[in-house]
């Protein structure tokens, strides 16, 4: 009944195909009632206030609660949405070597740099695989990079905010805000469905489509939307690591052009009143 979720009831055939349950990741019983009767579960929820250690408990304990409820309901496969943040932050990985699913973010490094979101995603994903090993539950994870694309909801979310700030000017590219690895939300949805439906899917899958540096991204945006106030200068922050989605592509995944993602993102922000 919360207005926050009203947009979900406007989805196509929602009145026939959608049931909403009140649930809390830290309330095991509420998860059991939502998951009961399901053959598959997509666990996509995670708190995103990146500046506080408090994100860790709901991310880790919440994921384990979901998985335990799935065992109880005899779910056949669970797809857990992790993050590029659980892959990329590993100072011991060989310099210049493309990071694939074998690379895990270093938990001590994340804690030392107070990167609580990446620590929470790394902890949650690794705990999910440990639980799968001990319980026999079939768990597959997807690790997306920065997700852009049209919004379903009328409010801005954390990843889209990076693009909105860029369009509104006065936003410099510090290391932590670099828009480097981008994937469309619709392509992420396709990836989740793919790893759920393909029997041979196993383990982790990096989900990243486009690698772009800040200057090239601004040039592309300015050529399509010249009316916005783009940054005049950039603060260099060193090179970012490169991730590979080759494993996901071998499973049959493909992605749309970056220009389509940017145009559809910005048009949806305008429609929602987030941008003029």
| Active site residues per annotation | 121
Q: Cα separation of 140 and 145, whole Å? A: 17
Q: Cα separation of 115 and 50, whole Å? A: 7
> Burial code of 175-212, b = ≥16 C-beta within 10 A, e = fewer?
eeebbbbbbbbbbbebbbebbbeeeebeebbbbbbbeb
What are the strands of the beta sheet with 77-81, ordered from one edge? 40-43, 77-81, 139-144, 203-207
Whether 151 and 272 have beta carbons less than 8 Å apart is answered as: yes
Between strands 210-211 and 181-184, the pairing is antiparallel
Between strands 203-207 and 210-211, the pairing is unpaired
Question: What are the Cα distances from residue 163, in Å, to 51, 97, 182, 225?
Answer: 20, 28, 11, 13
Provide the H-helix boundaries in 53-105.
56-72
Question: What are the Cα distances from residue 9, in Å, to 5, 20, 271?
Answer: 8, 9, 18
């Amino acid at each position: 009944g919360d207005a926050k979720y009203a947009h979900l009831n406007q989805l196509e055939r929602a009145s026939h195909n959608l049931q909403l349950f009140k649930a809390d990741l830290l309330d095991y019983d509420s998860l059991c009632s939502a998951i009961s009767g399901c053959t598959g579960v997509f666990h996509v929820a995670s708190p995103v206030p990146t500046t506080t250690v408090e994100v860790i408990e709901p991310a880790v304990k919440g994921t384990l609660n979901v998985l335990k409820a799935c065992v109880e309901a005899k779910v056949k496969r669970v797809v857990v949405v992790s993050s590029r943040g659980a892959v990329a932050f590993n100072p011991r990985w060989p310099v210049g070597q493309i990071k694939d699913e074998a690379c895990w973010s270093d938990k001590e490094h994340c804690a030392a740099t107070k990167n609580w979101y990446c620590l929470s995603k790394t902890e949650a994903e690794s705990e999910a695989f440990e639980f799968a090993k001990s319980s026999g539950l079939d768990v597959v994870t997807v690790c997306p990079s920065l997700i852009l694309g049209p919004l379903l909801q009328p409010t801005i979310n954390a990843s889209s905010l990076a693009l909105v700030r860029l369009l509104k000017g006065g936003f410099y590219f510090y290391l932590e805000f670099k828009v480097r690895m981008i994937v469309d939300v619709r392509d992420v949805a396709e990836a989740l469905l793919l790893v759920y439906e393909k029997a041979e899917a196993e383990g982790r899958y990096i989900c990243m489509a486009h690698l772009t540096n800040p200057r090239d991204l601004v040039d592309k945006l300015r050529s399509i939307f010249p009316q916005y106030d783009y940054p005049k200068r950039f603060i260099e922050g060193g090179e970012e690591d490169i991730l590979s989605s080759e494993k996901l592509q071998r499973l049959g995944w493909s992605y749309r052009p970056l220009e389509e993602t940017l145009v559809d993102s910005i048009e949806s922000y305008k429609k929602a009143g987030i941008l003029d």
